Structures are given as C-alpha cells and as structure tokens.
Amino acid sequence: MKILMLSVDWASKGGGGITRFARGFVQGLVANNIDVELLIEEDGPNSQKTGVTEYGCKIHSVLFKSSPIKRAFAFMKKLSCLCKKETYDFMIAITWSPCGTGAFFHNIFNKTPYWVVCHGNDILEPQRSFFYKHLMKVVLKKARVVLTNSKFTGGIVHSLGVKKSVIRAIGCGINPKELDLAFSKDTIRDSYAIGKKPLLVTIGRLVARKGQDMVIQALPTIVKSFPDATYLIVGEGDDKNRLQQLTSKLHVEKSVIFTGFISDLEMYQSVSECDLFVMASRNIMEKGDVEGFGIVFLEAGFYKKPVIAGRAGGMTDPVIENKTGLLVDPNNPEEIAEKAIQLLSNKSLCKEMGETAFDRIVTEYTWDAVAKRALAMN
C-alpha cells in the first residue's frame, strides 16, 4: 500500500499539536509497513526539503502562498505532477485546508481518493465564514474517510453533514522511545531549585483556552494545605502578562514559575518529575477555540502521573474519570483546588491512577496503535 500524506505543519522536532500529530502519525504508518511519501508546505526556497527522506519517507514540497485558495491550488498543481509519476492508493490530508481542499480539487480530475484529519479548532474557526464553512462541508463530505482526534471532534464533523460511517475517532499517540529520554541526570527540579516541593505542571500555549489562569486562582487554597507547592507553567503566549499580573494580585508569585519556551527534553522532564499534571482547558466556542484532544495527558500517563483535566472538548478521551485522572469544571478554581489537594494528599490513589493510565496508553495510544485504528477504515 502506498499513501501520500499532505501537511502544512511539518518539523522534525517540536511544534504544536497538529505538527506533532503529523510527525507521529507518519511514524505509526511506517511502523505498520506502509509506504508513505510526504507533500509539505514550506515558507521559501531556502527551506526546501524536496528529495530529503525522513522516517523512511520521501518528501515533496510546495511553496507557501498568501491565501487559503492559492495554497489549495498549489497543492492541487503539485498533486497533478506527482500522480503522473506515481500511483497512490489514497491521500491523507492532515488538515482540511489547504491540504484537504487541494486533494478535493485534484480528485475532481484524477479520482485519487483522499482522507482528511480533523483536530478541533481547524473545523470550528471556518464556521464563522459562510464561504469557508460551505467549502469545508464539501471537502469533508467528498472525503472517503474523515479521521478525528476525539469523539468530541467527530461530533462536530457529523454536525456538518458528514455520515457517521466515514468518521473514525483514532485519538493521538506517544512515542515511548522519545519519552524515555526524560530519564537523565539533569532534572527540572534542579534547574529551577524546586527540590522536593509538591510540583504541579501545565504545558501549553499561554492562551485563555488552556486554563492556566484558573489553576493560578486555585493556588491560594492549595498552598493553605501545601505551603511549599510550586506551579510550573511551561510555554509562551499572548496571555503571559495577564497571568503574571494575576499571580501578583493573588500574592502567589513565589509559588509560580514561568519557564517560557523550553526544549522537548525539558518538557518531558517537567512531566516526568511532577507530582500532578493539570490542564483545565475550557471551550471558548464563540472564538472557535477548543481542546480537541490533549496529547500531554498521554505523556503524563506514560510517566504514571495523576492528572486533572477540564471537562471540555475532547479531553474525556485521553482521561478516564476516577481511573486515570480527575475531571473538573474548568471555570471553577475551587473545584480545581479541591481535586488537587485530594490527589496531593493521597499517594496510593495517585499511584493507582498512574499505573492504570500507563497500561492503557502503551497498549492503545502509541502511534503504531493509532495508525492501526486508522488503517482499519481502508
């Protein structure tokens, strides 16, 4: 079987959720003995990767254009050239636009079937535009298969008129070998002089959806029970100044550490060394901003850490309530504090949740397993 994967977000390391999905999914397909080639979008001729091989996959590229439609036609034009030289069983577009749109226009003339992956925000934001909402519906309805990262995202796809029979929630995955790198001599606790203090960690962009502000508001209650508790906020974003001002207003600035951007290894160490991973993400539907899945919860589970997640978006897929973690109202700091204190006070419960999460993740949520679920739709 030969597949051509289309992606606008591609990087060998780092990146956001969609970039990490694309990278992991490719590795999962290759592990399942699938012949994969990549068609990616790049910013300029100096960054061209055409002809380069990553994960055993040959890379082709198109240059970034100024508008979604121009980008879609750039993909279509390149697909026409590639399909004259190679035969692909089908294409997988990592996003509906411009990758899926390019595959749709190409399919009109070439008939090579295509699949589309949907992640959450990518199919909510376009719904504020009549034109793009209509185009998205057409692209998704024409796809042979629509893969989603969660049942929540699958529900959004179905609400657009796509048949349930072609929608498959496959989740996201982890690479155990990559996560094993965190077990090294240099530690986050040493780097930030945290020592043996109770450590809460959130990893994610500093934006309202991620809920760092609600955890900060929960801290005054948490430190009453655990005076030396430390909250490590990993990431950067537009909300940073507001979050820093909030820590000062609540007089918890000595309990909060903002790391800014850190390496992948340091991110993994942050999770592996924490006592509690918490991300109280919330839906901001009016802005089309939701948490489609939450790969970081899988990473926490791999390190056998208990988690607290917001009861929103697709986070009920990676977190099983009362078994691998606790779900909270993401807009309720009092509940977040209560659950954090509950877990920090009960090491046996934390261990039980961590073990359950680990067993589930290494069997169901490696990229190999995610790719197998996807290929079952073929």
CA distances from 179 to 101, 174, 182, 227, 372 (A): 34, 8, 6, 31, 21
Query: Per the confidence metrics, is the pTM higher than 0.85?
Result: yes
**Which pLDDT score, from 0 to 100, does residue 244 have?**
97
pLDDT, tens digit only, all 378 positions of the chain: 999 999 987 765 666 788 889 999 999 999 999 999 999 988 655 455 665 677 889 999 998 888 899 999 999 999 999 999 999 999 999 999 999 999 999 999 888 999 999 999 999 988 889 999 999 999 999 999 999 999 999 999 999 999 999 999 999 999 999 898 888 767 899 999 999 999 999 999 999 999 999 999 999 999 999 999 999 999 999 999 999 999 999 999 999 999 999 998 899 999 999 999 999 999 888 787 889 999 999 999 999 999 999 999 999 999 999 999 999 999 999 999 999 999 999 999 999 999 999 999 999 999 999 999 999 998
Whole-number pLDDT of residue 11: 67
H helices of the chain, in order, are: 17-31, 68-85, 101-110, 121-124, 130-142, 151-159, 176-179, 188-191, 212-225, 240-249, 264-272, 295-302, 333-344, 347-364, 367-375
Do 5 and 94 form a contact (C-beta atoms < 8 A)? yes
Alpha helices of 308-366 — where are they, by DSSP H? 333-344, 347-364
pLDDT at 159: 96
Residue 142 corresponds to which amino acid? K
**What is the structure's pLDDT at 362?**
96
- Taking the CA atoms of 325, 330, 335 and 337 in sequence, report the sign of the dihedral they define: positive
pLDDT value of position 13: 62
- The CATH 3.40.50.2000 portion of the chain extends over 2-169, 177-364
Q: Which two tokens stand for residue 251?
A: 């007089």
Does the domain made of 177-364 have the CATH classification 3.10.25.10? no
Architecture of the CATH domain 2-169: 3-Layer(aba) Sandwich (3.40)
Judge contact between 190 and 270, C-beta under 8 A. Answer: no
Peptide bond into 68 cis (omega under 30): no
The CA distance from 336 to 353, in Å, is: 17
Q: What is the pLDDT of residue 46?
A: 45
